[in-house]
Amino acid sequence: MNTMRHRYSAEVQRAKGLIELAAAIYDSSLSFQTTRAAEQVLQTESRVGYTIKLALTATRSQGENGVSLSFAADGFRELKAVAQRKVSLAWINPSVAATLAFKGKGPFSKPLPLRTVAVFPSYDVMAFAVHKSTAVTSLAQIRKERIPLRLSTGQTTKHALAHSPTMFTVTAVMRAAGFTVADIRKWGGKIQSVSRPSHPDRRAAIENGTINAVFDEGIKSWGQTALDHGFRYLPVDGEILERLAAMGYRPSVVPKSRFRGMAKDVKTVDFSGWPMVVHADMPNDVAYALCQAIEARKALIPTDNYKPLEVAQLCANDEEAPCDVPLHPGAERFYRERGFLK
């Protein structure tokens, strides 16, 4: 029996996880069918796109109304859909995206009525790396000297800039430093847009020197390669960090303990966590049942750190699973009953 766990993009991992969650909520006897459905999703990764949505209605008994649930995975758009009751649950990345929505900051014009049911572990930071040959030592210097970087970053389409927590964060840091992607192009620079941080085109560009800067998350997939080829990390600090923290970002560091060739930690903002978010008025028993479903399928729901899922970490509010959106009361009861909250 082949027990090897395949690595897929974050979007597909969450797609598979939502299928398992839906199965556990609906009927545990659906395991075989949902496993087949999950495999079909995994085999058609290119069709997943930005969003996957699932819907089900569980009928309690003949003549009684069932409970309708819908699930979505993506980013800002899905958080708005939860607030508008268009979907029941959104599984997004990172935790700060939910924080922005809850606080009414960044792309959200007002606070949204959201609560957390679980935060899955996913350590990450937003990183801003430049090659040493640029002589750049700060983000402010890029604006001051109008440096024409050859920059690799996420997708810069209108859709991505509007809905992607990644590109919102990249552009928010750049704007706080006084420049934009358009400025880099205007100064004679070039932009390499990739669909995911681990894209092989980025690695190749780092290795062959066709880019001299990377602004992105997913540092585990490209960070060491950049350091090995003469890049260094620029700090997100001072007024820039203060502006991001005012929106709800947690200060963090690119840690020297995780990467070879770093003399010291470099300040930046956190980009960790895969939170599952629901509307604040979801019935307590439904939120409780969602947590039960996660517990029942914990061995089948993929995690970003590829370690066995510990249910206690889903409410731990730690480095890998930060949580600044309050737990739903039903979820809180679940975790307290199991001794994970005091």
Pick the range with the lowest mean pLDDT from 84-98, 187-201, 291-305: 291-305
Residue 317, pLDDT above cutoff 70: yes
For the segment 262-270, the average pLDDT, to the nearest whole number, is: 97
Express each pLDDT in 80-99 by its tens digit. 989 998 888 888 889 999 99
Instruction: Report the alpha-carbon distance of residue 302 to residue 10 in Å, rounded.
Output: 9
Domain ranges (residues) in the chain:
10-122+273-337, 125-270
Pick the range with the lowest mean pLDDT from 41-45, 64-68, 205-209: 41-45
Start-to-end Cα distance in the chain: 41
pTM: 0.84
Pick the range with the lowest mean pLDDT from 45-49, 64-68, 165-169, 174-178: 45-49
Express each pLDDT in 228-261 by its tens digit. 999 999 999 999 999 999 999 999 999 999 999 9
Give residue 287's pLDDT: 87
Which residue pairs, CB below 8 angstroms and at least 24 apart, start in 130-135?
130/212, 130/213, 130/231, 130/232, 130/234, 131/209, 131/212, 131/213, 131/229, 131/230, 131/231, 131/232, 132/230, 132/231, 132/232, 133/212, 133/230, 134/212, 134/213
Residue 306, pLDDT above cutoff 80: no
State how beta strands 67-74 and 213-216 pair. Answer: unpaired
Give residue 189's pLDDT: 98
State residue 90 phi and psi, 5-degree precision: -120, 135
Instruction: Report the alpha-carbon distance of residue 64 to residue 60 in Å, rounded.
Output: 6
Instruction: Report the alpha-carbon distance of residue 181 to residue 156 in Å, rounded.
Output: 8
At residue 131, the 3 state secondary structure works out as strand
Are 96 and 165 contacting, i.e. CB atoms less than 8 angstroms apart? Answer: yes
8 or 203, higher pLDDT: 203
Give residue 115's pLDDT: 98
138 or 303, higher pLDDT: 138
Q: What angle separates helix 10-26 from helix 31-43, to the nearest 10 degrees?
A: 160
Q: Which fold has domain 125-270?
A: D-Maltodextrin-Binding Protein; domain 2 (3.40.190)
Give residue 68's pLDDT: 54
Instruction: Report the alpha-carbon distance of residue 135 to residue 26 in Å, rounded.
Output: 58
Give residue 41's pLDDT: 40
Give residue 285's pLDDT: 85
61 or 247, higher pLDDT: 247
Domains 10-122+273-337 and 125-270 agree in fold:
yes
For the segment 154-170, the average pLDDT, to the nearest whole number, is: 89
Residue type, 147: I
Give buried/exposed letters for 46-58 (b at 16+ CB in 10 A, else e).
eebeebbbbebee
Q: H/E/C letters for each residue in 277-322?
A: EEECCCCHHHHHHHHHHHHHCCCCCCCCCCCCCCHHHHHCCCCCCC
Express each pLDDT in 16-31 by its tens digit. 666 666 666 655 434 4
1 or 323, higher pLDDT: 323
Instruction: Report the alpha-carbon distance of residue 104 to residue 110 in Å, rounded.
Output: 4
Mean pLDDT of the chain: 84
Assigned CATH for 10-122+273-337: 3.40.190.10
- Residue given tokens 């029942």 in the structure block: 296
